[in-house]
Amino acid sequence: MKKTLAFILCLGFGFAFSQTQKTQTPPTEDHSRDKFIPEQSKQAEYPGGLSAFMREVSQKINTNRIKGAKGRTSSQARFSVNAKGYIETIIVTGDNESLNHEVERVMKSMKTQWKPGEYKGNTVMIWFNLPFVINFE
């Protein structure tokens, strides 16, 4: 009798504590309004376009300052145009340090104001990546 009673108690506790409770997950928020819509964003613009900016920078580069360059030498410039339309941060990478310094020097000397970029009607900082390639003979 004691064994049967103990078995029933164990079985009863097993059924009582083995029930699972469903946890309710909160409803997901609708973020469809936050999706990137191209019509809401505008790139920063240089007066005359990006090709005019590249042309001006390339004309100001002094190749006499570039040391140890042979053949084709390249650098990659990453810079930001702030909400006021000025070049703010400049990061130049490449194999030739003197070319990197020259590109950075020339870009810092550019004082022409850009038309700032926009996102959802607010002016924002925009990043650009530009390659610079020089052939030495």
CATH topology for the 46-137 domain:
3.30.1150
User: Residue 45 above 90 pLDDT?
Assistant: yes
Alpha-carbon dihedral sign for residues 30, 32, 33, 34? positive
Q: Domain segments of the chain: what residues?
A: 46-137
Tokens of 115: 């038309």
How confident is the prediction for the chain on average, in pLDDT?
81
Other residues' Cβ atoms within 10 Å of the Cβ of residue 39: 5
User: Residue 4 above 70 pLDDT?
Assistant: yes
